Amino acid sequence: MTSASVTTTRKPQDGEIDVYGLTHPGRVRGTNQDHFLIASLHKTVEVHRTSLPTVGRLPQSERLAFLAMVADGVGGSAAGEAASRLAVQRVTEYVAQSMRCFYTADEHDEQAFHEALQEAAFRCHESVVAEAGTDADLQGMATTLTLWLGVWPRAYLLQVGDSRCYLLRDGALTQLSRDQTMAQELVDQGVLRRTEAFNTRWANVLSSSIGGRQTAPLVTRMEQDWGNVGLLCSDGLTKHVSDERILERLANMTSARQACESLLQDALDDGGTDNITVIVGRTLEGRVEDA
């Protein structure tokens, strides 16, 4: 077996995963309703970086999977922040408690992963609805949730809402997620053209959310490979930064941290009218140093 074939088939070591995430309130909003999390799934969960205040580091063992997620809260400042924080916490707890599916799942049996991720979304939804019912200030709160679960050489994308997931592969940028907004629904029905739909008020109305009137989690499977670059983000980024600019930043990145910081600055330079959250990850052969 050649070194090239080894590179493309073996699972990356922890030090060969270059990943970074950040969140920023933007230039207009007084509070940040976004939350994110990046974690390795071992026999326990080891959190690498998060905006949550109370998640600690746990003992490390062999990595089974890699987890990253973004949640963008909807509602008043307190309600939106509470919804996104609760969603990230509940998903992390549920996945950690459901590790048996990562130990026992047959690589040809997709049902275990699909069911576990969909169940995580529904449980999050129930938690947010229940929490909103206990406090009048939290009524109407909801959140998006976009989650990447990497189980090499496969990956699974869970999406509720319009926080996006992009993949850069062989120089081409693809939006893997589908915006769950009324604007996208109108485009799908042929009522509006894509170029005009996202300049209407429907672009900011979610058709599916955690805690909202309708929750329709989507789970998609894909293949991972060395050299691919993944991006998760809230719409605070994509309101201001075009796909063409995202492609340019990811194609020329020197590190995940540098890419996140550059994309954040692009959004701020264009106005930064919303909270901005960005996670970038890639695999590189050899030891990755924090940059």
Unique residue bearing structure tokens 């050299």: 227
- 7: in domain: no
Count structural domains, the chain.
1
- 15: in domain: no
Work out the pLDDT band at 5, boundaries 50, 70, 90: very low
The least confident of 147-161, 231-245, 266-280 is 147-161
- 102: in domain: yes
What's the CATH code of the domain at 174? 3.60.40.10
- 256: in domain: yes
- 9: in domain: no
Which residue blocks in 50-206 are alpha helix, DSSP H? 77-97, 100-104, 111-132, 182-188, 194-197
Q: Supply the pLDDT for residue 82.
A: 95
Q: Answer whether residue 291 shows pLDDT above 60.
A: no
- 10: in domain: no
| pLDDT 10s digits, 153-197 | 889 999 999 999 999 999 999 999 999 988 888 887 878 877 777
Domain ranges, residue 170? 20-283
- 291: in domain: no
**Total-model pTM:** 0.88
| pLDDT 10s digits, 37-70 | 999 887 656 677 888 877 655 455 677 788 999 9
What does the alpha-carbon distance between residue 261 and residue 252 come to, in Å, rounded to a whole number? 13
Instruction: State which amino acid sits at residue 13.
Output: Q
- 83: in domain: yes
3-state secondary structure of 80: helix
